[in-house]
Amino acid sequence: MALTASRTSQPTSATASQRHPVVMIPSLGRPASDFLTIAPTLEHAGFRLVLLDPRPQWPGSPTLHDLAADSLAQLDALGIDSFHLVGHAFGNRLARTIAADAPQRVASLALLAAGGLVEPPADVWDGLARCFDMSLPPDVHLSEVKRVFFAPGNDASVWRDGWMPGVSKYQRFAVRSTPRSDWWGASVDRVLVVQGLSDVIAPPDNGRRYVAEFAPHARLVEIEGAGHALLPERPREIAAALLEHLTQA
């Protein structure tokens, strides 16, 4: 992962939760700037945000554990020991791997569009692959983005750009090379799961099963009219859920 930004506000006072930075990991082949839809709310509350972009390329054949170790090394370089962790879509898998490999460092865990167990139909996987085919005509590409990432009626044009095919390739390899049992059940003392009820890539039953089987203490938030993109679709609801989660005593 590559550091995008360390965004720090200066609150007049800070709770214990606010002293932990909030580390954010984006979706498959997407930039961490996707989180900018919710950043102002968290910054206004006094949280320091650390947005992690994926590395443009990765030599060799990584696993999720390799990507997790790289993320932790970058946080070490910033002098960050403990942190809140937020992962969106693919980032939820990497976030859970970090929580599995270094649970003592994760103050809380928030999973947005938390897939990985209940699989989507084959045509959805095909559509996801086409989202990273930059040879498609722009209107065809956008129609695939809309079909697999956005709920009906939501504006997919906000994700017209930002697609990184090379990044998605090594990230998908890492997912395939890592047993699901290594990360799926990872949990910490404080967990939030946010699912879009129109998500066709990570169907809502993923979040329900994770909470029921591995994190019964977690808060599960299901959002009407949101798909897999979530962040540009329902930023207010997500920011509110995160703020409540992060400020728990």
133 strand-pairing partners: none
- pLDDT bucket at 185, cuts 50 / 70 / 90: very high
The stretch 186-211 carries a mean pLDDT of 98
Question: CA 106, CA 20: separation in Å to the nearest integer?
Answer: 9
The answer to whether the predicted template modeling score (pTM) of the entire model surpasses 0.75 is yes
- pLDDT bucket at 248, cuts 50 / 70 / 90: confident
* Residue 110 CB partners (closer than 8 Å, separation 6+): 84, 85, 86, 87, 95, 191, 192, 193, 194, 242, 245, 246
Architecture of domain 2-120+164-246: 3-Layer(aba) Sandwich (3.40)
Which burial class, exposed, middle or buried, applies to 61 when counting CB atoms under 10 A from its CB (0-12, 13-18, 19+)? exposed
Q: Is the pLDDT of residue 16 over 70?
A: no
- pLDDT bucket at 8, cuts 50 / 70 / 90: very low
Going from N- to C-terminal start, the domains of the chain cover 2-120+164-246
The stretch 238-242 carries a mean pLDDT of 98
DSSP 26: -
* Residue 43 CB partners (closer than 8 Å, separation 6+): 7, 9, 49
The stretch 132-157 carries a mean pLDDT of 98
